[in-house]
Amino acid sequence: MVIIEVACRYCNKTHPVRKHGTGRGGFPRYYCNDCKRTFQLSYSYQAHQPGMREKIVEMASSGTSIRRTSSTLKVGINTVMRYLKEEKEAR
């Protein structure tokens, strides 16, 4: 069982995360002991900065368009949409 320094995308904890095989597309999958969930990291690297998700959600909830959020925070439109989608699903 290999422990690696990867922050869980649900709770942002680093230590309980371990490698969990390889998912579709060949990206490594990880499993968080805290959340009991598996996740892939590859697609969350791009905007993986502390607070980025919160900023995106905050801008969206104050009525900022996705395009404008994307250019203000300097992240891709797809990243913004993905975060908002995840946020919606998490509720």
| Residues of this chain that bind Zn ion (CB under 5 A) | 8, 10-11, 32, 34-35
Q: What's the min distance (Å) between Cβ of 32 and Zn ion?
A: 3
Edge-to-edge strand list for the sheet holding 28-32: 17-22, 28-32, 37-40
Closer of 36 and 74 to Zn ion (Cβ): 36
29/64 with CB nearer Zn ion: 29
- Tokens at residue 32, please? 């968080």
Q: Supply the minimum distance, in Å, between the C-beta of residue 63 and Zn ion.
A: 31
- CB of residue 35 vs Zn ion: minimum separation in angstroms? 3
Taking CA 74 as the corner, what is the angle to CA 73 and CA 75, rounded to the nearest 5 degrees?
Answer: 95
The first and second tokens of residue 65, run together, are: 């368009």
Residue 30 in contact with residue 20, Cβ under 8 Å? Answer: yes
